Amino acid sequence: MKNCAVFCSGFGSNLQALIAAVNRGRIPARIALVVSDCVDAYALVRAKKAGIPILAVDRSEFKTREDYDAYIIRRLKKQAIDYVILAGYMRIIGPRFVSCYKNKIVNIHPALLPSFKGVHGIKDALAYGVKITGVTVHFVDAELDAGPIILQGAVAVKADDTEDSLARRIHRLEHRLYPEAVRLLVQNKLSVKGRNVLIRR
């Protein structure tokens, strides 16, 4: 069975959705480690409740990002991690990290990439006045929110939406879409051809 590490920085609602999917047998893999750059992230509480080992690492304890990444990579190798699942992880993954896990790191973004990259995808989409936004699951590469797209789902923007109301609907879609993308990943049903991700159902 494949081992996944889920990286989180905050509340961990997508982590909870992944834990539930694993427990139901929907994702045929093991969440072997939860990693956070925030030692007080609620995601770590979720992991502990689920009996999942945790790794909380304060970036400020390392001189450089490269040192930080090197430490994380060593810990992942020690745990025999096959895939890295970013679930609200607010730190950029460095090039060495990406090369070590090429096409084995995935991220979920609360907008329809390539639109509204960065940490304020929901806020930026609402401010721009789009009528449709959504969720993107993509492979992680050296550029921010730019890796090949695995799955996308659309969410209609209502005239009276606030950032909070739109976020709630986007998060509900994330909790359905991300487990499906991770299932495809761990079952080796994804192949990358340039910018295209081919899915074998």
Query: What does the alpha-carbon distance between residue 42 and residue 30 come to, in Å, rounded to a whole number?
Result: 20
On whether the CB atoms of residues 170 and 88 are closer than 8 A, the answer is no
Q: Is residue 175 flagged as an active site residue?
A: no
Bridge partners, residue 55, by sequence? 35
What DSSP designation does 56 have? E
Choose the catalytic residue: 109, 120, 138, 171: 109
Q: Looking at this protein, which amino acid is placed at residue 23?
A: N
The DSSP annotation for 79-141 comes to TT--EEEESS--SPPPHHHHHHTTT-EEEEESS-TTSS-STTHHHHHHHHT-SEEEEEEEE--
Which residues participate in catalysis according to the annotation?
109
